[in-house]
A and B are shown apart, each in its own frame.
Chain A
Amino acid sequence: MSYETDLAEFEPVIGLETHVELGTASKMFCGCATTFGAEPNTQTCPVCLGLPGALPVVNAAAIEATIRIGLALHCDIATWCRFARKNYFYPDMPKNFQTSQYDEPLCTDGYLDVDVDGEVVRVPIERVHLEEDTGKTLHVGGSTGRIHGATHSLVDYNRAGIPLVEIVTKPVVGTGVRAAAVAKAYVTELRDVLRGLGVSDVRMEQGSMRCDVNTSLSRPGEEWGTRTETKNVNSLRSVERAVRSEVERQAAILRQGGSITQETRHFHEDSGTTSPGRSKEEATDYRYFPEPDLVPVAPDPAWVAALKDALPEAPSVQRKRLIEQLGLSDLDAQAMVNAGVLDLVLATVSEGAPAAEARNWWLGSLAQAANAQGVDAGDLPITPAQVARVVALVAAGDLTASLAKQVVDGVLAGEGGPDEVVAARGLKVVKDTGALQAAVDAAIAADPDAAEKIRGGKVQAVGALVGQVMKATRGQADAAAARTLILSTLGVSE
């Protein structure tokens, strides 16, 4: 059975919980830095280590960022709300409770419109709340890196206390066969919204944006089925694959008359499948209660209104505007959406590249490279600014089309930015007229027959000589310039 036939028989309900690390300079409740990849446990203090006696103080920048996210998602903003403690034991959580929000989230009841195959789907948002991230545990000594089989564990608390925003959708119904595509489109759009707000670097591969996907199936007309929660879905591709995988797994069980266990499941990037985690019976009673160490948060409505007025243009609106400005066809735009490169193209254009060139790169060799590596184009190690730079070098005549391809390959291979690759690989176009003239003279001398034909008016014979010039310059000559120079040397005009 396939995903498509499964969803012809069953109706899916999906829900998404997205955790986003805010890009604030300091942590949620203390002044520690939040830089990614620092030496373990160097960005810690009594507060984020949960030392006895230490107390939290709310980071106002995190409150502001969360409210802006809520506003961008058309949510209601609480006029008064509290943090709550979520109590459970885990070694990477310094206090053995997470300071979070429970029944009084900062933002509630919004939506995000996403584009799926040219059609707008409204994904309802249940809540947006603020909490603190945990540390990271590294299990050492086993073969799998998991706790089973490990001899000991190391904990890095640098991440502990980084502000984390949780964005929870309401159940998304009626998507039918587009469930997986809607899930991916939602996370993509959400990422773009967050990036546009400048509140997070939203790097899924670095864990600054993480996704849990809820999936259930039921036969038409029946009550919603039991849902599973797939954890650790950490790329846009995986969001789609996780939904497909869960749909196929659940459909197979239901078809055989089995029942779905309410549980969390882990997504495996390599196989694209899920495996069971905690079941509902094992679920922890978190014993939430209002955090007594913090005073309630009461955002001034006038301030919230000002934040709302200052929101940047929504990515969907901006996209529409740019597509019109650039004169891209609907078909082109849709192709770019499907390949996940529309925003990359637009970003490349805003870095100064002509739309056609930007489109050609991202829909062409870069899309192929992403496909070959099994990653999203946005996760390729090349930025829109770098693509724009390559385009500019070509326009200036410093690179030919084939050299440009080599430069991009170099950037993708991690050799540095375009200029560094050009320098390191010696890829600059031969523009020195003396050198080019010498190559032209040599080519004419080597092939007097061709020269004679050209002089006699058979201008098309110039191709052979151009080929010789290109060969002599190892491709670094500009072919058009070489052609012009050959003709003028032979005293022929076109």
Chain B
Amino acid sequence: MTDLTRLSAVETRQAIASGQTSAVEVAQAHLDRIAAVDGHVHAFLHVDADGALAQARRVDDGELTGPLAGVPLALKDVITTEGVPTTVGSRILEGWVPPYDATVTERLKAAGIVILGKTNMDEFAMGSSTEHSAYGPTHNPWDLSRIPGGSGGGSSAALASYQAPLAIGTDTGGSIRQPASVTGTVGVKPTYGGVSRYGLVAFSSSLDQAGPCARTVLDAALLHEVIAGHDPRDSTSINAPVPPVVEAARTRDVTGLRVGVVKELQGDGYEPGVTARFTEAVETLKELGATVSEVSCPHFGYALPAYYLIAPSEASSNLARFDAVRYGLRVGDDGVRSLEDVMALTRAKGFGAEVKRRIILGTYALSSGYYDAYYGQAQKVRTLITRDFQRAWESVDVLVAPTCPTVAFPLGAKLEDPLAMYKQDICSIPANLYGGPAASFPVGLSEGLPVGLQVMAPTLREDLLYLVGGALEDAIPYAVPPLTWETS
């Protein structure tokens, strides 16, 4: 029998359904794989072997069925799991065991998906390298000395190192797409409101969105269908049918599709290898029957500064609840210190430097007398960026750009330079501010490292992403990570 960890989700399900293997065998193979390689990669913060095997048994017993029943998945540690620790990559939630499942978790379980464990991430999803995790960085399976992207580097690295065929990420400014780009995997940020945020520990409420990650386009689409759809527990959840993503991932036909290349997301600051692979991929789409034109989105240049006002503002409020009173870390509670001192000491110790930076930024931006100049102004920019997208949809069906200006950079390279780190998300942030769906698909290598192409579509047109992704997948051979470190 072939190595079960090398199968796609679709192949895994076929193998289970046909009786070639069992869900328990598949789960065990992945747990063994994690035990063997995660010491190098550090994709997981917590492995739930008992829970995974119990769920696999339910699938084998026929209690749970469906197109992904018995397929293992790595869950980003920002999604709550009843009875299983959820840290959000932060000391402040070390040891916290949620008493409830997120809607995403519920839907995964109901679909028979086997959750292997919780993956590493930048603390509170703030970062682009996973280096801001309080529990140490994740390493890129393509080159262990390099970053796996962030914040969802654990999920993308788990896929690229064959520790799981499926993963869940969350994307506030690019945290699904940039990790997908630098690990050569598929990552989709659905339309804001397309997937319930109930149980997603909030970073920036108006931007956060969970989505599917996988090694193949069809796998991602199948997972997308499992987690998407209206949830009455999330007021911002859209009450509309899920777009036909699986059908699109199977159709893969871009004939006549109008593709717009974003003029503002290229040129200076983009690595030549990234530009080369991107240009070739666009050429490929043209050859496959798409029409390609350049589209100007004049306000995209303001997306990054607007994002760094809106997201920290919301974060400064969202993260206020971590105060040592009800759950999580408590520092200095010696019976003498005041409540305020204990709160302050806990937050000083429990939050990392990047989280503190953003809390301070956001607190400042919302302050009386500064609100209009910062938060208010950023919201206006957000409106202008939305208009850029709407104007683009008058002439094209989708927009494309590199997912990220660079390939994976070495660990530590941007740690001392927050602005350089922030610029990793320069291409991905506009879609978050607009709210429409966007995805990253692998389009080859530059100097041996993966490059991603980003597709952006109108709200609730996720199907267009999968059309393009599927077409590229067929045309550009999947680059298999060499994993040279495994044998050394």
Taking Cβ atoms with an 8 Å cutoff, the residues of A that contact B are 46, 49-58, 85, 87, 89, 91, 94-97, 147, 151-153, 155, 285, 287-289, 292-295
Q: How far is the CA of A203 from the CA of B202 in the complex (A)?
A: 37
B residues 336-351 near A (Cβ < 8 Å) are 339-340, 343
Instruction: Report which residue of B102, B204, B323, B335 has the largest number of chain A beta carbons within 10 angstroms of its beta carbon.
Output: B323
Q: How far is the CA of A55 from the CA of B231 in the complex (A)?
A: 11
**Cβ-defined contact, A58 with B201, below 8 A:** no
Known: A49-B326, A287-B367. A293 touches B199 (CB 8 A): no
Known: A53-B200, A57-B235, A89-B320. A155 touches B100 (CB 8 A): no
- A91's partner among B98, B206, B339 (CB-CB below 8 A) is B339
**Cβ-defined contact, A52 with B198, below 8 A:** no
**Cβ-defined contact, B80 with A53, below 8 A:** yes
**Cβ-defined contact, A97 with B235, below 8 A:** no
Q: Taking the nearest CB of chain B, how far is it from the CB of A477, in angstroms?
A: 65
- Nearest residue in A to B327 (C-beta to C-beta)? A51
Q: How far is the CA of A51 from the CA of B322 in the complex (A)?
A: 9
Answer yes or no: B317 CB below 8 A from chain A CBs. Answer: yes
**Cβ-defined contact, B235 with A56, below 8 A:** yes
Q: How far is the CA of A155 from the CA of B324 in the complex (A)?
A: 13
Q: How far is the CA of A85 from the CA of B93 in the complex (A)?
A: 23
Q: Taking the nearest CB of chain B, how far is it from the CB of A286, in angstroms?
A: 8
Answer yes or no: B79 CB below 8 A from chain A CBs. Answer: yes
**Cβ-defined contact, B197 with A287, below 8 A:** no
Answer yes or no: B130 CB below 8 A from chain A CBs. Answer: no
Q: Taking the nearest CB of chain A, how far is it from the CB of B71, in angstroms?
A: 24
Instruction: List the A side residues contacting B317 at CB < 8 Å.
Output: 85, 87, 97, 287, 289
B residues 314-369 near A (Cβ < 8 Å) are 314, 316-317, 320-323, 325-327, 335, 339-340, 343, 363, 366-368
Q: Taking the nearest CB of chain A, how far is it from the CB of B379, in angstroms?
A: 9
**Cβ-defined contact, A55 with B235, below 8 A:** yes
Instruction: List the A side residues contacting B86 at CB < 8 Å.
Output: 52-53
Q: Taking the nearest CB of chain B, how far is it from the CB of A406, in angstroms?
A: 52
**Cβ-defined contact, B321 with A55, below 8 A:** no
**Cβ-defined contact, A52 with B234, below 8 A:** no
B residues 222-274 near A (Cβ < 8 Å) are 232-236
Q: How far is the CA of A289 from the CA of B364 in the complex (A)?
A: 13
Instruction: List the A side residues contacting B234 at CB < 8 Å.
Output: 55, 57
**Cβ-defined contact, B235 with A295, below 8 A:** yes
Q: Taking the nearest CB of chain B, how far is it from the CB of A152, in angstroms?
A: 8
Q: Taking the nearest CB of chain B, how far is it from the CB of A2, in angstroms?
A: 41
Which A-B residue pairs are the 7 nearest by beta carbons? A96-B320, A292-B205, A287-B366, A292-B206, A53-B199, A52-B201, A53-B80
Q: How far is the CA of A34 from the CA of B199 in the complex (A)?
A: 24
The prevalent SS among residues of A at the interface is loop
Extra contacts besides A54-B100, A91-B325 (6): CB < 8 Å: A51-B98, A53-B79, A53-B86, A56-B235, A85-B317, A96-B320
Q: How far is the CA of A212 from the CA of B335 in the complex (A)?
A: 34
Answer yes or no: B88 CB below 8 A from chain A CBs. Answer: yes
**Cβ-defined contact, B80 with A287, below 8 A:** no
**Cβ-defined contact, B233 with A96, below 8 A:** no
Instruction: List the A side residues contacting B235 at CB < 8 Å.
Output: 55-58, 293-295
- Nearest residue in A to B366 (C-beta to C-beta)? A287
Instruction: Report which residue of A52, A155, A287 has the largest number of chain B beta carbons within 10 angstroms of its beta carbon.
Output: A52
B85-114 CB mask vs A (1 if < 8 Å, else 0) is 010100001001011101000000000000
The prevalent SS among residues of B at the interface is loop
Q: How far is the CA of A94 from the CA of B98 in the complex (A)?
A: 16
| 9 chain-A/chain-B pairs, Cβ below 8 angstroms | A53-B98, A55-B233, A91-B323, A94-B326, A153-B339, A287-B366, A287-B371, A289-B366, A294-B236
Q: Taking the nearest CB of chain B, how far is it from the CB of A153, in angstroms?
A: 7
**Cβ-defined contact, A53 with B202, below 8 A:** yes
Answer yes or no: B375 CB below 8 A from chain A CBs. Answer: yes
Q: How far is the CA of A152 from the CA of B371 in the complex (A)?
A: 37
Q: How far is the CA of A54 from the CA of B100 in the complex (A)?
A: 9
Answer yes or no: B313 CB below 8 A from chain A CBs. Answer: yes
**Cβ-defined contact, A292 with B314, below 8 A:** yes
B residues 387-429 near A (Cβ < 8 Å) are none
Instruction: List the B side residues contacting A54 at CB < 8 Å.
Output: 100, 198-199
Q: How far is the CA of A89 from the CA of B346 in the complex (A)?
A: 14
Q: Taking the nearest CB of chain A, how far is it from the CB of B371, in angstroms?
A: 7
Q: Taking the nearest CB of chain B, how far is it from the CB of A388, in angstroms?
A: 45
- Nearest residue in A to B326 (C-beta to C-beta)? A49
Known: A91-B339, A294-B235. A96 touches B98 (CB 8 A): no
Q: How far is the CA of A95 from the CA of B322 in the complex (A)?
A: 8
Instruction: List the A side residues contacting B236 at CB < 8 Å.
Output: 292-295
**Cβ-defined contact, A151 with B339, below 8 A:** no
**Cβ-defined contact, B323 with A287, below 8 A:** no
Instruction: List the A side residues contacting B322 at CB < 8 Å.
Output: 52
**Cβ-defined contact, A52 with B80, below 8 A:** yes
Instruction: Report which residue of A51, A94, A147, A285 has the largest number of chain B beta carbons within 10 angstroms of its beta carbon.
Output: A51
Instruction: Report which residue of A49, A57, A94 has the largest number of chain B beta carbons within 10 angstroms of its beta carbon.
Output: A57
- Nearest residue in B to A91 (C-beta to C-beta)? B325
- Nearest residue in B to A88 (C-beta to C-beta)? B320
B residues 204-218 near A (Cβ < 8 Å) are 204-206
- B100's partner among A46, A153, A288 (CB-CB below 8 A) is A46
Instruction: List the B side residues contacting A58 at CB < 8 Å.
Output: 235
B277-313 CB mask vs A (1 if < 8 Å, else 0) is 0000000000000000000000000000000000001
**Cβ-defined contact, A89 with B323, below 8 A:** yes
Q: Taking the nearest CB of chain B, how far is it from the CB of A71, in angstroms?
A: 25
Instruction: List the A side residues contacting B197 at CB < 8 Å.
Output: 55
**Cβ-defined contact, A53 with B102, below 8 A:** yes
Instruction: List the B side residues contacting A56 at CB < 8 Å.
Output: 235
Instruction: List the B side residues contacting A52 at CB < 8 Å.
Output: 80, 86, 88, 93, 96, 98, 201-202, 321-322, 327
B residues 55-97 near A (Cβ < 8 Å) are 79-80, 86, 88, 93, 96
Instruction: List the A side residues contacting B233 at CB < 8 Å.
Output: 55, 57
Q: How far is the CA of A441 from the CA of B206 in the complex (A)?
A: 91
Instruction: Report which residue of B233, B234, B313, B371 has the largest number of chain A beta carbons within 10 angstroms of its beta carbon.
Output: B233
Q: How far is the CA of A94 from the CA of B318 in the complex (A)?
A: 11
Q: Taking the nearest CB of chain B, how far is it from the CB of A131, in angstroms?
A: 15
Instruction: List the B side residues contacting A151 at CB < 8 Å.
Output: 335
Q: Taking the nearest CB of chain A, how far is it from the CB of B173, in angstroms?
A: 15
Known: A56-B235, A287-B366, A287-B367. A51 touches B100 (CB 8 A): yes
Q: Taking the nearest CB of chain B, how far is it from the CB of A27, in angstroms?
A: 14
Instruction: Report which residue of B197, B326, B327, B340 has the largest number of chain A beta carbons within 10 angstroms of its beta carbon.
Output: B326
**Cβ-defined contact, A55 with B98, below 8 A:** no
Q: Taking the nearest CB of chain B, how far is it from the CB of A109, in angstroms?
A: 25
- Nearest residue in B to A157 (C-beta to C-beta)? B326
Instruction: Report which residue of A94, A96, A287, A294 has the largest number of chain B beta carbons within 10 angstroms of its beta carbon.
Output: A287
Q: Taking the nearest CB of chain B, how far is it from the CB of A463, in angstroms?
A: 74
Instruction: List the A side residues contacting B314 at CB < 8 Å.
Output: 289, 292
Q: How far is the CA of A289 from the CA of B201 in the complex (A)?
A: 19
Q: How far is the CA of A95 from the CA of B321 in the complex (A)?
A: 4
Known: A287-B367, A292-B314. A50 touches B206 (CB 8 A): no
